[in-house]
Amino acid sequence: MQDKVTFEYAIIRVVPKVEREEFFNVGVILFSKRKRFLGIKYHVDNNKLSVIAPDLEIALLNDYLSAWKLICNGGKSGGKIGEFEISDRFRWLAACRSTIVQSSKTHPGLCDNPEQALNDIFEKYVL
């Protein structure tokens, strides 16, 4: 039996009209220091988006989320932020911002497998 490790996660939200503070969940970002894991999982429901925010460009939203994934993966393809230490990349992605793609406050947890925890949280809060 493996020892459980701590992790932190944040829900990724789309906030079509920032001034109204209405949002819907599109993904999860999860970080485990002990497992050296930083993962992201997202899905944009185009039908839901077209009802809530018909003016929002889906391609632009997908570009933003793709950039977040590149940062998670690390390395030069994630730009300067992608080259940060894994914990700093998570903190940058989970930081408070006032754009159409935001994250919730971070939440802690314990798990055996961070990848599985990411999938479980995604299923619970996004799908």
Over residues 50-77, mean pLDDT: 92
Return the DSSP state at 41.
E
Q: How far apart are the first and last CA of the chain?
A: 30
User: Residue 114's pLDDT band (boundaries 50, 70, 90)?
Assistant: very high
Question: Residue 88: which residues within 8 A CB-CB, separation 6 or more?
Answer: none
Mean pLDDT, all residues of the chain = 93
- pTM of the predicted model, to two decimals? 0.92
- Say yes or no to pLDDT of 98 above 90: no
pLDDT value for 95: 95
pLDDT value for 99: 84
Give residue 49's domain range.
Answer: 5-125
Domain count within the chain:
1
> For residues 43 and 80, what is the distance between their CA atoms, to the nearest angstrom?
25
